Structure 1
């Protein structure tokens, strides 16, 4: 699943990627470069929402559904909700179906995924980005969540990333683990703007959820593990050389 994101961009870059935001409010939002954030740290992230008007705001990655009704449950299970399977959005009775009208966009300049190689002890991390857009948008859903923080007892705005079945390239990179064969639901600029329109029908939503970014629209290369502490700078995405690394073909 997609737990590792990069947003090496400033506010001006996000506005360029989504011009409709230039007429929105809250354009003094502090946006700073980050070359890697892991979802399990539940960071704040800039998101585009259309909640009484299109705006850019900072939401916390990782909803806390009502079923997580104790601090212990939150600590143990919250990470399960960092991503949402797109197939569940229109499935009656699911958490994601209940908030399908609370749609948002998650800007990113890239994401990281791990490749399992037969005979290798460790998986190899890859950095993946769009070849078409400097900043792309991932479909998401937002919700107000109980913070379970004694210092901040109010409900906080949170979000989850939507994932879908992987394209041919990503099936070869994200090929191991319980959630192999998934990728973030990356949208074209036109679909991104449509995703946050408030009057979408379930048919409209289904059409967007079925979009698959072509493999040839992605750039990728191996990097050193991003699960180890390191400076938050461009060195995180520096190409790593691995002797005998099998090529990826699609």
Structure 2
């Protein structure tokens, strides 16, 4: 799965890589968590790519009360085209999710031992040396009875490659720049036409860096959470012992909710 990620590239780099005409300034974000806003890129009505903030945790349009619905942070790429929660978004609202990398936790064979956190980033400097990578995502707009709207989204995952599989069995689907247009083209490209893109990244595409458990706590949102440590070192630090869930309000105890 993908339950935390980061976006620290400069806004102008994001705009250039994703061919955006305009993008508002935003600060680097080191610990993006569910319920917080995430930047997505999609094909706008005029055929040009646009950027939009969506709440991380997809809510299908048919849901009556989001408060009673399970938070859909990830969607399994193998079944997204058939599952009622993702089927419409997979056909009509595919998006790109810019990222600098993601976090994952490995559970040792000794169940009593603490999980080891990893910062997983592009090994070769990312797209054009910007440090950027792109995840496949889906977007939905939920409309309340009073007409209020909430844009929500999720990240598609796939069975991990051998390298990341040593840490966790799932990983985000990576969309390469040459495939951006095809993935975003929901007008002529049905899910079956882009199914070949839903593959794990090649071994060596990512570099997995062991880090301390500071990342476990949503309020820890500075670059220090990405500092390398020796595996098994850094537990019981300023972060919580278990991975903390994001504040349902989206604030997470910090300013990450106000991305723009």
TM-score category, normalised to shorter length: 0.7 to 0.9
The answer to whether 1:173 aligns with 2:167 is yes
What is the alpha-carbon distance in structure 1 between the residues aligned to residue 58 and residue 232 of structure 2?
A: 40
Counting matched residue pairs gives 222
What is the aligned counterpart of 1:128 among 108, 120, 128?
A: 120
* Larger helix share, 1 or 2: 1
The answer to whether 1:220 aligns with 2:213 is no
**Gap regions ≥5 residues in structure 1:** 175-180, 245-250
1:201-224 Cα distance to aligned partner (Å, 9 max, x none): 333221222x32111111111111
What is the aligned counterpart of 1:73 among 68, 74, 78?
A: 68
What is the CA-CA distance between 1:105 and the residue it aligns to? 0.4
What is the CA-CA distance between 1:230 and the residue it aligns to? 4.8
Listed as ranges, the matches of 1:166-245 within 5 Å are 166-174=160-168, 181-198=169-186, 199-209=188-198, 211-225=199-213, 226-242=215-231
Q: TM-score, normalised by structure 2?
A: 0.78
Matching residue of 1:177:
none
Q: TM-score, normalised by structure 1?
A: 0.81
Distance 1:90 1:224, change over 3 A: same
Matching residue of 1:3:
3
**Gap regions ≥5 residues in structure 2:** 234-260
Distance 1:164 1:67, change over 3 A: same
Task: Please tell me whether the aligned partners of residues 60 and 86 of structure 2 are also in contact (alpha carbons under 8 angstroms).
Answer: no
Name segments (4+ residues, structure 1) moved above 6 Å.
none
What is the aligned counterpart of 1:51 among 39, 44, 59?
A: 44
Distance 1:208 1:28, change over 3 A: closer
Task: Please tell me whether the aligned partners of residues 85 and 164 of structure 1 are also in contact (alpha carbons under 8 angstroms).
Answer: yes
Distance 1:72 1:230, change over 3 A: closer
1:143-164 Cα distance to aligned partner (Å, 9 max, x none): 101469x9xx611211110001
What is the alpha-carbon distance in structure 2 between the residues aligned to residue 113 and residue 212 of structure 1?
A: 15
CA RMSD of aligned residues (A): 2.2
1:34-85 Cα distance to aligned partner (Å, 9 max, x none): 011111xx111111011313111211111223564336414xx2x2x11111
Q: Name the SS for the 1:239 alignment partner.
A: coil
